[in-house]
Amino acid sequence: MRELLHETADLAADFLESLPERPVFPRVEVDELRARLGGPVPDRPTDPREVVRELAEAGDAGAVAIPSGRYFGFVIGGAVPAALAADWLTSAWDQNAGLYVAGPAASVVEEVAGEWLAELLGLPRGVSFAFVTGTQMAHATALAAARNEVLAREGWDVERDGLAGAPPIRVLTGEKAHSTLPRALRLIGLGTGSLVPVAVDDQGRMRLDALHEALASGDGPTILCAQAGEVNTGSFDPLGEIADAAAIAGAWLHVDGAFGLWAAASPRLAHLTAGAERADSWSTDGHKFLNVPYDSGIVFCARPEAHRRAMSVQAEYLVQSGEGGPRDQVDWTPEFSRRARGFPVYAAIRSLGRSGIADLVERCCDLAQRFADGVAEVPGVEVLNEVVLNQVLFRFDSDDRTTAKLGAVQRSGVAWMSGTTWDGLQAIRISVSNWQTTEEDIDRTIAEFAS
Ligand SMILES: Cc1ncc(COP(=O)(O)O)c(C=O)c1O
């Protein structure tokens, strides 16, 4: 076992050391990967060292250099060393982090890391939390609590009676809400028919006049979802005014802060999230700005009882701590058996500290601004967003040129980023979310667009 793990550590280090030189997107075809990795079900056992060696070889050929400083796709962080190493320990320990009795250290680490996170993100004392796979499941968890609570206020017990015959719930979101929100509504049985889209401005921020109009146009149980960090522009909804409107309407306020909530961890950027602390629930990710390996999402709730009621589970054979006892994660998460995903979050926070996290977030944002300034000098380029955070949205002077340039840079292997559509036009998105990105990485990428 020791030899296997040492060898595996070397293979992992080989991959990480190859990042500066390897093409950011692998030069491999899907058929080649299928041929290398596929085949019939193996009849006989194979030596684990051989299995890992072969997997590393074939897997390496098809791996995207996501931990590289020149990966700018979607909103994807890298992995700071302590978090990566703690993630390995998590697998070696193989705790079932559903119950305290199946992993006492995992339970306590989640307790500690959850409280640290709430403080770093400027959330009120005493919020409940759960470590889930990502913001998608954080939304599903928070909105299940929201659904139950707004219906309970109408005298409807959704835990017992389900949704058939329940008073209809309206869910107000900006038109640029992330696609994981409507999916969460589908998962919790509200459906996308419950959505009331609210018009946004040219940066994707919810318009307050449209919000007031939407709130006034109906009544009954209401959930209002605001966004801290739009996925293309990085823009923030006007959170303070939205919190005011939610309070007057008696609506549950949920904030999608998948990456934008991390602005609160920087004294320089915290003003962007002002008002977020007044929400009822929040979703964010460890695998974006905090640079924790996948999968790492966190949900917080200012109404712990609603959160717990929506998630908790009992069975005769379960050994649960009960009120006031140690934390049983199963009471807060949608999963039953689960990975101890608090360890890498804990390690990331300990290794970076408050100042290191602020520095990481600010550095990413400064580099995004450097990219925007530099790419704006490239003939034919227009930067489409106000760079308030770590996202840059830009295009060339036609859709064809934009698509062609994006494809050429992706194929060059120098960097990778994704395209999008903004106001009906093709555009290119840059997300700087990696602790390893340097000014040189930014300048090389701009040069590639200029070539
Ligand atoms: C604003 C926003 N919300 C939600 C998500 C989904 O997060 P996850 O992939 O962790 O579920 C993203 C992902 O980029 C996002 O940017």
In order of 22, 122, 311, the CA distances from 27 in angstroms are 10, 43, 44
Interval 107-147: pLDDT, tens = 999 999 999 999 999 999 999 999 999 999 999 999 999 99
**Ligand 1 centroid from CA 213, angstroms:** 28
Tokens linked to 76: 């994807």
Pairing of β 425-431 and β 195-198:
unpaired
Q: What is the atom index within ligand 1 of the atom nearest the CA of 285?
A: 10
**Ligand 1 centroid from CA 310, angstroms:** 22
Tokens linked to 99: 């119950």
Q: Which of 66, 71, 131, 135 to mutate to test the pocket of ligand 1 (most atoms within 8 A of CB)?
A: 135
Please, which pLDDT band fits residue 319 given cuts at 50, 70 and 90?
confident
Residue 324 pLDDT exceeds 90? no
- Average pLDDT taken over every residue of the chain: 97
Q: Which of 102, 246, 250, 110 is nearest to 173 (CA)?
A: 246
CB 385 within 8 A of CB 232: yes
CB 200 within 8 A of CB 176: yes
**Ligand 1 centroid from CA 287, angstroms:** 10
**Ligand 1 centroid from CA 42, angstroms:** 37
In order of 10, 137, 178, 188, the CA distances from 184 in angstroms are 40, 7, 11, 6
Q: Which of 66, 74, 75 to mutate to test the pocket of ligand 1 (most atoms within 8 A of CB)?
A: 75
Q: Which of 235, 234, 203 is nearest to 384 (CA)?
A: 203
Interval 387-438: pLDDT, tens = 999 999 999 999 999 999 999 999 999 999 999 999 999 999 999 999 999 9
**CB 143 near ligand 1, within 6 Å:** no
**CB 258 near ligand 1, within 6 Å:** yes
Q: What is the atom index within ligand 1 of the atom nearest the CA of 230?
A: 1
Query: What's the whole-number mean pLDDT along residues 381-389?
Result: 98
pLDDT score recorded for residue 16: 97
**Ligand 1 centroid from CA 289, angstroms:** 12
Report which protein residue has its CA nearest ligand 1's atom 12: 258
Mapped onto helix, strand or coil, the DSSP state of residue 258 is: coil
pLDDT score recorded for residue 102: 97
**CB 297 near ligand 1, within 6 Å:** yes
pLDDT score recorded for residue 69: 98
Helix (H) or strand (E) holding 7: helix 2-17
Residue 179 pLDDT exceeds 90? yes
Residue 47 pLDDT exceeds 90? yes
**CB 180 near ligand 1, within 6 Å:** yes
Interval 235-252: pLDDT, tens = 999 999 999 999 999 999
**CB 75 near ligand 1, within 6 Å:** yes
Query: What's the whole-number mean pLDDT along residues 222-229?
Result: 98
Query: What's the whole-number mean pLDDT along residues 11-22?
Result: 97
pLDDT score recorded for residue 4: 98
pLDDT score recorded for residue 353: 98
For residue 394, the Cα-to-chain-centroid distance in whole angstroms is: 23
Residue 322 pLDDT exceeds 90? no
**CB 178 near ligand 1, within 6 Å:** yes
pLDDT score recorded for residue 321: 87
* % of the chain surpassing 70 pLDDT: 100
Residue 323 pLDDT exceeds 90? no
| Whole-number Å distance between alpha carbons of 148 and 161 | 11
Residue 320 pLDDT exceeds 90? no
**Ligand 1 centroid from CA 328, angstroms:** 26
**CB 131 near ligand 1, within 6 Å:** no
Mapped onto helix, strand or coil, the DSSP state of residue 318 is: coil
| Whole-number Å distance between alpha carbons of 298 and 284 | 5
